Amino acid sequence: MVKILIAEEIATRGVELLKSNGHEVVVEINPSPERLLELISDVEGVVIRSATKITKEVLENAPRLKAVGRAGIGLDNVDVKYATQRGVMVINAPQSNILSAAEHAIALLLAQARYIPQAHNSLVGGKWERSKFEGVELYGKTMGIVGLGRIGALVAQRCLAFGMNLIAYDPYISQERAEKMGVELKSLEDLVKDSDFISIHLPKSKETMGLINKDLLAKAKDGVRIVNASRGGIIDETALFDALSSGKVGGAALDVFAEEPPFGSPLLGHPNVVVTPHLGASTTEAQDKAGITIAEQLILAFSNEFVPFAVNINASEASHAIKPFLPIAEALGRFIGSLSDKLPSNLQIEYQGNIANEDTRILTLSAIKGLFAAGTNEPVSYVNAPQLAAERGLEISETTSSTQKDYVSLISVRSPEHSVSGTIIGPSNTPKIVEVDGHAVEVPPAKHMLVVKNDDRPGKIGLVGTVLGEAQISISSMGVSPTNTGGTALMILATDREIPQEVTEQLSASDGIIYARSVSCEDS
């Protein structure tokens, strides 16, 4: 029996399930941050939703804590990295609300296509305005789905039933996988140009914030209709209002907003806008699933059994020889994911030297996890990384060779387009990237990095330094290497902040630069 704190409302069945398995359950809903520090000091488990924040301070005040259960998908309110360092398992319920969210997107789609809320308000207001609310059919129209993850795929299935033509933007879905779903993959710009309806299904991140902006909307079909039941801020709401007012956008249906509640937003008063107050997961079934799922996962965790929805892993589960390589394996996956514009068709992971004699499966999971973390904006764990690879058509191969080359142990991750290798060095097991695309380097992985491949001729280092200097970006460290065969050189720089897209575009367009990529080997 362990003591578990329920800090936010979950389904009664979930609470009863924990109790029936012999655990002591303390229920105190929405405690203040100060009260949470008191409550968590002597519990082994805690259940939260989206409001309670499990910060580093909270974790440091929880010496007995073994598991954090998030009854939902997002983990923005949990310091997963520090929890992992302390050996605290973090668990979520990633599939609890996907059906509800997909169905709500379809409800919004239909509501704005046929002006259902506006017609309802008109009728109950004593008016009979049949001609005013002339809508449009879905049949034969083109639906553009931005983000073809679990929820986007469910929306696609339902749109096919309406007889719609489906196109999608998702660089981390293979063409083969999309074709099986009846979807044609396109660039985001082409999707916007060709769609009659657009439905957004992306998590919130620095890459997706403001993704649907003024410039993109200007390229859309006249009268396009937009649905967003994913996260607020992905659409530039000022740009959307202007496009609605000009008639460029024919209608919008929004469940989420940049600021919630969005009181004061002009979108709320626009006649062609349908809004709901973030109801995507607000069904009895979704709430029950989240509470019951997290209770079941905690029961497994405290029974020392496999926990399918754990999003981190206790380093003690890896062997003593493997543990130090976990960070570099994930960093290599993130590195190659950042170099690529889309999901590679296959990924080969090779282990050389002493490490090849160990059980390297967890390192392979780390590399896959890093690859998807760099490109999908979905919560990625050791558990769901292989599932994501299968769903998105990524082939994984693993090879080992005990033959030692320049390093005692070496991990290499290769796609058809790129390769990167790394190891750990010295008594402190410092991670190092030692090869990129055939260029020998020796640089530590960092949060903000710039990789530049260029013709091997004078002036290129100065060019890069000048462009970064003009952008007020400081260089923390730098490695430069020509290829063994000559002709090209590679620069890898660690910088004090993220490289803006306009900087990489400027460098890529410069004479003699083959490519310039912003790379991150750590969580943002």
| Domain limits, the chain | 3-95+285-302, 98-275, 314-436, 445-519
pLDDT of residue 318: 64
Average pLDDT over residues 111-116: 97
pLDDT of residue 221: 95
Better pLDDT: 383 or 201: 201
DSSP E strand stretches across 201-282? 224-228, 249-254, 273-275
Average pLDDT over residues 378-391: 73
pLDDT of residue 206: 76
Phi and psi torsions of 460, nearest 5°: -75, -35
- Indicate whether 503 pLDDT > 80: yes
179 is catalytic: no
Average pLDDT over residues 508-514: 92
**CATH architecture for residues 3-95+285-302:** 3-Layer(aba) Sandwich (3.40)
Per the prediction, the chain carries an average pLDDT of 91
- Indicate whether 383 pLDDT > 70: no
- Indicate whether 306 pLDDT > 80: no
Q: What is the DSSP string of 382-429?
A: TTTHHHHHHHTT-EEEEEEE---SSSSEEEEEE-SS-EEEEEEETTTT
pLDDT of residue 438: 87
pLDDT of residue 378: 62
Measured distance between the N- and C-terminal CA atoms of the chain, rounded to whole angstroms:
37
Average pLDDT over residues 79-85: 86
pLDDT of residue 379: 61
Q: Which of 225, 278, 392, 517 is catalytic?
A: 278
260 is catalytic: yes
Average pLDDT over residues 18-32: 95
Task: List, for residues 226-247, the tens digit of each pLDDT value.
Answer: 999 998 999 999 999 999 999 9
Going by C-alpha positions, the residue among 413, 224, 232 that lies closest to residue 329 is: 413
Task: Let me know: does 43 contact 64? Beta carbons within 8 Å.
Answer: yes
- Indicate whether 319 pLDDT > 90: no
Going by C-alpha positions, the residue among 289, 288, 249 that lies closest to residue 270 is: 249
Task: Let me know: does 243 contact 131? Beta carbons within 8 Å.
Answer: no
Lowest mean pLDDT among 379-393, 458-472, 499-513: 379-393
- Indicate whether 182 pLDDT > 60: yes
Is 482 strand, coil or helix? strand
pLDDT of residue 51: 87
* CA–CA separation, 440 and 436 (whole Å): 7
Average pLDDT over residues 129-147: 96
Lowest mean pLDDT among 41-50, 215-224, 306-315, 497-506: 306-315
- Indicate whether 174 pLDDT > 90: no
Q: What angle do CA 500, 502, 506 make, to 5 degrees?
A: 125
* CA–CA separation, 496 and 13 (whole Å): 49
308: tokens are 């399918």
Same fold across 98-275 and 445-519: no
231 is catalytic: yes
* CA–CA separation, 263 and 214 (whole Å): 22
* CA–CA separation, 421 and 492 (whole Å): 14
pLDDT of residue 317: 59
For residue 235, count other CB atoms closer than 10 A to its CB. Answer: 29
% of the chain at pLDDT higher than 70: 96
Task: Let me know: does 336 contact 328? Beta carbons within 8 Å.
Answer: no
Q: Which of 28, 179, 260, 470 is catalytic?
A: 260
- CATH says 445-519 is which class? alpha beta
pLDDT of residue 376: 67
- Indicate whether 380 pLDDT > 80: no
314-436 is a CATH 3.30.1330.90 domain: yes
Lowest mean pLDDT among 40-54, 158-172, 310-324, 432-446: 310-324
Residue type, 327: P
- Indicate whether 216 pLDDT > 80: yes
- Indicate whether 8 pLDDT > 70: yes
Task: Let me know: does 98 contact 326? Beta carbons within 8 Å.
Answer: no
Domain 98-275 sits in CATH at 3.40.50.720
pLDDT of residue 386: 78
% of the chain at pLDDT higher than 90: 67
pLDDT of residue 377: 59
Task: List, for residues 419-438, the tens digit of each pLDDT value.
Answer: 999 999 988 889 999 999 88
Contacts of 72 by beta carbon, 8 Å cutoff, 6+ apart: 49, 50, 92, 93, 96, 97, 281, 290
Q: Which of 49, 150, 177, 231 is catalytic?
A: 231
How is the chain split among helix, strand and coil, in percent rounded to 5? 35, 25, 40
Residue type, 435: E
Task: Let me know: does 100 contact 281? Beta carbons within 8 Å.
Answer: yes
* CA–CA separation, 173 and 372 (whole Å): 11
* CA–CA separation, 66 and 312 (whole Å): 12
- Indicate whether 314 pLDDT > 60: no
Long-range CB pairs of 53-56, under 8 A, 24+ apart, other chains included: 53/77, 53/78, 54/78, 54/79, 54/83, 55/79, 56/82
- Indicate whether 218 pLDDT > 90: yes
DSSP summary character for residue 18: H
Task: Let me know: does 51 contact 8? Beta carbons within 8 Å.
Answer: yes
Average pLDDT over residues 168-174: 89
How many angstroms separate the most distant Cα atoms in the chain?
83
Task: List, for residues 340-375, the tens digit of each pLDDT value.
Answer: 878 888 899 999 999 998 888 889 988 998 888 877
- Indicate whether 14 pLDDT > 80: yes
Task: Specify burial of residue 136 (Cβ count, 10 A radius: 0-12, 13-18, 19+).
Answer: middle
Model pTM score? 0.76
Phi and psi torsions of 356, nearest 5°: -65, -15
Better pLDDT: 312 or 65: 65
Average pLDDT over residues 189-211: 91
- Indicate whether 140 pLDDT > 60: yes
